[in-house]
């Protein structure tokens, strides 16, 4: 079993496509949560989508490199691992904001300035489209984990897998 897993992780044609596919599926699920189920993302949710797009591009590029330059594929896998780990750090920051461990330093996460004029407060609230980062729009009913919490775990695991894969590919070539 260990030999099968090692062979799979060191496969330069399979692993970049697998990482790109997982990233595309994750991005698709985020978009489905937004457009099908109506969960509006905050600015931190939107920022967490960028590494997935980067991994999709790196995975497709890694697959293309796998036919001629295996070391190049391993470098692209390492970059995918770093992108996943960066996403895990962003998601951890988002988790801290959600759980009120710290306040977000991003402007889009804060409550807009309502002003001091009572007549303009309602107009300001209605004009504001920002979704707060410190409110959890959905939590797992069993464990109580938010999407940001799951993203920390998911991306950390994928980052480690991608880095192990890159190391195995480098060693093999």
Model pLDDT, residue 133: 84
Is residue 140 included in any domain, yes or no? yes
Model pLDDT, residue 84: 98
pTM of the model: 0.85
Model pLDDT, residue 83: 98
Model pLDDT, residue 113: 55
Is residue 32 included in any domain, yes or no? yes
pLDDT in tens, 127-143: 555 678 888 888 889 99
Is residue 3 included in any domain, yes or no? no
45 half-sphere exposure, CB direction, 13 A CA radius:
26
CATH of the domain at 58: 1.20.1550.10
- Which domain covers residue 71, as residue numbers? 12-110+127-172
Q: How many domains does the chain fold into? A: 1
Is residue 139 included in any domain, yes or no? yes
CB 97 within 8 A of CB 103: yes
Query: Facing residues of 139 across strands?
Result: 146
Is residue 54 included in any domain, yes or no? yes
Q: Which stretches of the chain score pLDDT less than 50?
A: none
Q: Report the alpha-carbon distance of residue 22 to residue 24 in Å, rounded.
A: 5
- Using alpha carbons only, give the angle 123, 109, 154 rounded to the nearest 5 degrees: 140
Model pLDDT, residue 106: 78
Is residue 118 included in any domain, yes or no? no
């Amino acid at each position: 079993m260990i030999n099968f897993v090692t062979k799979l992780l060191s496969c330069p044609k399979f692993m970049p496509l697998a990482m790109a596919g997982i990233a595309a599926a994750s991005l698709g699920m985020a978009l489905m949560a937004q457009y099908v189920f109506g969960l509006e993302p905050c600015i931190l949710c939107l920022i967490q989508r960028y590494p997935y797009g980067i991994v999709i591009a790196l995975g497709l590029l890694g697959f293309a490199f796998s036919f001629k330059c295996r070391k190049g594929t391993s470098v692209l896998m390492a970059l995918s691992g770093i992108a996943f780990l960066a996403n895990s750090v962003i998601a951890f920051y988002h988790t801290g904001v959600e759980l009120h461990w710290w306040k977000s330093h991003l402007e889009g996460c804060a409550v807009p300035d309502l002003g001091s004029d009572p007549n303009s407060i309602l107009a300001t609230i209605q004009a504001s489209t920002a979704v707060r980062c410190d409110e959890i729009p959905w939590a797992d009913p069993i464990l109580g984990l938010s999407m940001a919490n799951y993203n920390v775990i998911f991306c950390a695991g994928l980052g480690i897998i991608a880095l192990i894969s890159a190391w195995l590919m480098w060693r093999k070539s």
